[in-house]
Amino acid sequence: MSKSNFFKIDNLSLQGIDEDAELIPLMTPEDEEEINKEELPSVLPILPLKNTVLFPGVVIPITAGRDASIKLINEANNGDKTIGVVAQIDSSIENPEAKDLHQLGVVARILRVLKMPDGNTTVIIQGKKRFEIDEMVATEPFFKATVKAVPEVKPAIENEEFTAIIESIKDLSLQIIKDSPTIPTEASFAIKNIESHSFLINFISSNMNLTVEEKQSLLATNDLRDRALSTLKFMNTEFQKLELRNNIQSKVQSDMSQQQREYFLHQQMKTIQEELGGVSDEGEIEEMRKRSKNKKWSKSVKKHFEKELFKMQRMNPQVAEYSIQRNYLDLFLDLPWNEFSKDKFDLKRAQKILDRDHYGLEEVKRRIIEYLAVLKLRNDMKSPILCLYGPPGVGKTSLGKSIAESLGREYVRISLGGLRDEAEIRGHRKTYIGAMPGRILQSLKKAGTSNPVFVLDEIDKLSNSHQGDPSSALLEVLDPEQNSEFHDNFLELGFDLSKVMFIATSNSLNTIQPALRDRMEIINMTGYTIEEKVEIAKRHLLPKQITEHGIKPKDIKLGKAQLEKIIEGYTRESGVRALNKQLAKVVRYVAKNIAMEEEYDIKISNEDIFKILGPARESNKYENNDVAGVVTGLAWTSVGGDILFIESILSKGKGNLTITGNLGKVMKESATIAMEYIKANAEEFGIKAELIEKYNVHIHVPEGATPKDGPSAGITMLTSLVSLFTQKRVKKNLAMTGEITLRGKVLPVGGIKEKILAAKRAKIKEIILCEENKKDIEEINETYLKGLTFHYVTDMSDVLKHAITNQKVKNCKEL
């Protein structure tokens, strides 16, 4: 429906559809009386209409494309030509059911049937009277229903109010026809010649720009006075819109005249400039054509460029599209089509660069060298898509720089954190004002080559919105089978990304779309040990801070013991980002003393660290608690591993279980499983079954302000409960991690390296792990495992054998 027309006056001239069609007369009050006397058929074929509501007396053409509708029309046209017409509730449903139709419709008579060349059928129908569906008696091959007439409540002829409403409708209709440039003036004759008040209202309601719901509401109004008032209300609204549109059109026309005048003046200036030897737009186009000769384009790309350049040549430089077209062609020329930097496959040099820039991370560097070796042996191989996954501050982003340097490639990086618009990846269509290419092509333009090392930072922090899903857009970018023809909406051509070495970084794999994760080779970057952090601080962080703060290396001495003090007391992370900030504070302290010419000791002591950084944070350490129900567990956090304590106590009650400590759903389930396993196997543990019914159990995990979740505390909770009910001591300097099942089986968990490092920091001596986690221990450097004893278990009986001693705790309760 055209929003520029108030009335769809095309319906007045239906005879124009066919030269032999006869003119359909306007309905008179006498016609209405005759129709009202007619009896409705016992069963009526029902024709559903999309986006159309038929009113009594009104003639409309409809196009039928559905098989059921065509069958209905042909059968009715060969019979008494009477059908029932109802509107669909939802026009998007292609094959509606009975529940998808409005119950109120109009009996119609078929006036003419026309076969269209496209296979559809156009039928001209005239509404007669309203009906309501009583019961749907058939759905195949088309709808059939029993119906009942819906009478119309008409005001008395002498009703002055109703007469005034009708006159207002006529006057307003004529005014709208006069003011609208799109409605032919002949329409006013039709309005003037309508005698029936009911038909006048129906005619105008049918031809107004209203929604299906609004028209259906008018049709369903039984009282003719109320329907007339509603129609007048809609007309008033549309008349106000028409006046507003006319005012805007008048202003635009005035502005266009001014723009045309300015255009002619600009053309004259252009001619004068050319006469005086100035630069014209032709010079700009010729410059583009010269630049294109040096491009390594395929025939199709070159042909597309010439076509777009010709289009720009024919444009008026003053219109907005001209600048968009110029930007488009500039991008076309600036993109590195088939331009590659030569790779330096010196693997020994690459190893030196990685070792120079990153201390530790031996496993990560080994895998990167392996990838580079394969690229060296297979020059035609598509670049791998890597994902460096690990906690913040472990060097994921900087590793990308080192890879670029070792290969001799350009380095580009985009941050994807918080990105929620698909157009940021694919670009905007150049038909939009302010359109630009996506960030992928913009970065390649900046790099100047088609094979840079491209870092997609924080890929796990992508989000989606009504503007699209950037994760889905990246599927094409990161798929080696598809990215040779990456389609950017702005460029409108495929661009080859297959030689780009994409490196994504992520802190978590859980928030990455599974299909996207599947396209990447995951390289896990675990945290650093204290010893590694000390070396990183000495080799990289401290020299960098000294340079940035304008002091000299001889101005400060920071020993190993002091570095360990800062790491253990003032940072809590797997990486070194917080350590870098703390070192910056120490260096600023020295810089201040030098700048103010104050005396200070260049050798920083523990007392100086306390003075500069304040009190140290107490890290979690093993507590030798001789209390039943207290067990040490191992946990993984976003900043590395940590130890946690599971505490449980008994209180007289009815066997209820209480769980506290800001625990997540999975961890609460682990506590429930542990309690149920105790109940089911009480005799095996030497626990009297009646004790469980007489006492309430409270399990608590300290540091309640910190959210905790995951299944790895399962065996720790069960050990705590066994110790509680038996009042037996848990082995000293022992920690554990593992998931349990209701059958008492121990399942493997993740984050093993981080948990081992946390155990070492906490002076733990023995660790209980699932048998299947043994492979994780074998992958860890032996240096980190020194001083630790591991017990590998398969079920809870093994756990308790290693964890629970035969000694009772001090002050044990007699249960």
Predicted confidence band of residue 284 (pLDDT cuts 50, 70, 90):
confident
The pLDDT score that the predictor gives to residue 430 is: 80
Measured distance CA(486)–CA(499) in Å, rounded:
12
Omega of the bond prior to 141 within 30 degrees of 0, cis? yes
pLDDT at 202 exceeding the cut of 70: yes
Measured distance CA(766)–CA(310) in Å, rounded:
77
Domain spanning 160-241, CATH class: mainly alpha
Average the pLDDT over 202-209 and give the result: 86
pLDDT at 576 exceeding the cut of 60: yes
pLDDT at 342 exceeding the cut of 90: no
482-524 per-position pLDDT tens digit: 888 888 888 888 888 888 999 999 988 888 888 888 888 888 8
pLDDT at 95 exceeding the cut of 80: yes
Measured distance CA(801)–CA(793) in Å, rounded:
10
Q: Is 151 annotated as a binding residue?
A: no
Measured distance CA(392)–CA(768) in Å, rounded:
28
The pLDDT score that the predictor gives to residue 758 is: 83
Q: Which of 173, 383, 450, 712 is catalytic?
A: 712
The pLDDT score that the predictor gives to residue 10 is: 41
Residues whose CB is less than 8 angstroms from the CB of residue 429 and which lie 6 or more positions away in sequence, other chains included: 435, 489, 490
Measured distance CA(738)–CA(745) in Å, rounded:
10
Q: How far is CA 706 from CA 41, 539, 662, 701, 703, in A?
A: 75, 34, 7, 10, 6
The pLDDT score that the predictor gives to residue 801 is: 92
pLDDT at 131 exceeding the cut of 90: yes
**Domain assignments of the chain as residue spans, ordered by start:** 29-149, 160-241, 347-514, 530-613, 630-808
Measured distance CA(116)–CA(186) in Å, rounded:
29
Q: Is 448 annotated as a binding residue?
A: no
Measured distance CA(356)–CA(745) in Å, rounded:
46
Q: Is 396 annotated as a binding residue?
A: yes
Instruction: Write the secondary structure of 695-761 as one string of H (helix), E (strand) and C (coil).
Output: EEEEEECCCCCCCECCCCCHHHHHHHHHHHHHCEEECCCEEECCEECCCCEEECCCCHHHHHHHHHH
| Residue matched to tokens 């705790």 | 809
The pLDDT score that the predictor gives to residue 278 is: 41
Our separate counts of H helices and E strands in the chain read 29, 24
The tokens for 338 are: 């088939």
Neighbours of 264 (CB within 10 A): 9
Q: Which of 215, 533, 565, 755 is catalytic?
A: 755
Pick the residue with more confidence: 412 or 162?
412
409-436 per-position pLDDT tens digit: 999 999 988 888 888 888 888 877 778 8
> Residue 90 burial (CB < 10 Å; 0-12/13-18/19+)?
exposed
Which of 7-11, 23-27, 101-105, 403-407 is predicted least confidently? 7-11
Domain spanning 29-149, CATH class: mainly beta
The pLDDT score that the predictor gives to residue 4 is: 37
End-to-end alpha-carbon separation of the chain, Å? 84
Thinking of the domain 530-613, which architecture would CATH place it in?
Orthogonal Bundle (1.10)
Average the pLDDT over 560-568 and give the result: 88
Evaluate the CA torsion angle 29, 34, 37, 41 in order and state its sign.
negative
Q: Is 664 annotated as a binding residue?
A: no
Closest CA to 77 of 115, 40, 39: 115
Domain spanning 347-514, CATH class: alpha beta
pLDDT at 13 exceeding the cut of 60: no
pTM over 0.85? The answer is: no
Identical fold, 160-241 and 630-808 = no
Q: Is 527 annotated as a binding residue?
A: no
Average the pLDDT over 620-642 and give the result: 78
Q: Which amino acid is residue 373, in one-letter code?
A: A
- Please tell me the number of Cα atoms within 13 Å of 415 on its side-chain side: 2
pLDDT at 747 exceeding the cut of 50: yes
217-263 per-position pLDDT tens digit: 999 999 888 988 988 888 888 888 888 887 777 776 666 666 666 66
Which of 2-6, 139-143, 525-529, 737-741 is predicted least confidently? 2-6
Evaluate the CA torsion angle 397, 401, 406, 412 in order and state its sign.
positive
- Please tell me the number of Cα atoms within 13 Å of 477 on its side-chain side: 28
The pLDDT score that the predictor gives to residue 639 is: 65
Question: Is 499 one of the annotated active-site residues of the chain?
Answer: no
The tokens for 514 are: 């599974």
Count how many residues are written for the chain: 815
**Contact at 8 Å (CB) between 435 and 482?**
no
The pLDDT score that the predictor gives to residue 624 is: 64
The pLDDT score that the predictor gives to residue 270 is: 62
Pick the residue with more confidence: 468 or 301?
301
* Fold of the domain built from segment(s) 630-808: Ribosomal Protein S5; domain 2 (3.30.230)
Average the pLDDT over 763-782 and give the result: 90
* Residue % of the chain over a pLDDT of 70: 91
Question: Is 712 one of the annotated active-site residues of the chain?
Answer: yes
Looking at every residue in the chain, the average pLDDT score rounds to: 84
46-76 per-position pLDDT tens digit: 999 988 999 998 998 988 888 888 899 988 8
Predicted confidence band of residue 792 (pLDDT cuts 50, 70, 90):
very high
Q: Is 393 annotated as a binding residue?
A: yes
Pick the residue with more confidence: 408 or 262?
408
**Contact at 8 Å (CB) between 491 and 437?**
yes
Q: At what angle do helices 347-357 and 396-407 cross, to 10 degrees?
A: 150
State the DSSP string of 44-55: EEEEEESS----
Average the pLDDT over 156-175 and give the result: 84
